[in-house]
Amino acid sequence: MYDCIIVGAGPAGGTAAYHLAKRGRSVLILEKETLPRYKPCSGGVSPAIGQWFEFDFEPAISLKVDQIRYSWQMSDAVEVSLRAEPMWMVQRDKFDHFLIEQAQQQGAELQDNAEVTGIKFSHDRWQVSTSKEPVAEQAAFVIAADGAKGPMAKWLGIFGGKRRMSAVLEVKAQNPPDSPEMHFEFGGKKIRLFGT
CATH of the domain at 105: 3.50.50.60
Do 113 and 192 fall into the same domain?
no
Looking at every residue in the chain, the average pLDDT score rounds to 87
In which domain, by residue range, is 172 found?
57-89+164-196
Do 98 and 142 fall into the same domain?
yes
Do the domain assignments include residue 194? yes
**Average pLDDT for 47-67:** 93
- Reported as a pLDDT band with limits 50, 70 and 90, residue 173 is low
Helices (H), 106-142: none
The answer to whether the CB of 21 falls within 8 A of the CB of 107 is yes
The answer to whether the CB of 16 falls within 8 A of the CB of 142 is no
The Cβ of residue 119 has, within 10 Å, a number of other Cβ atoms equal to 19
**Average pLDDT for 138-163:** 86
Do 106 and 25 fall into the same domain?
yes
Greater pLDDT, 196 or 51: 51
Helix, strand or coil, per DSSP, at residue 103: helix
Do the domain assignments include residue 51? no
Do 16 and 85 fall into the same domain?
no
Looking at residue 160, its pLDDT comes to 64
Between 7-16, 44-53, 117-126, 132-141, the lowest mean confidence (pLDDT) is in: 132-141
Instruction: Classify residue 34 by its DSSP letter.
Output: P
Greater pLDDT, 8 or 166: 8
**Average pLDDT for 160-171:** 67
Do 21 and 102 fall into the same domain?
yes
Do the domain assignments include residue 186? yes
Do the domain assignments include residue 83? yes
What is the signed CA dihedral for 149, 154, 160, 164, rounded to 10 degrees? 30
Do the domain assignments include residue 131? yes
Angle among Cα 100, 35, 155 to the nearest 5 degrees reads 80
The pTM score is: 0.84
Do 37 and 116 fall into the same domain?
yes
The answer to whether the CB of 136 falls within 8 A of the CB of 50 is no
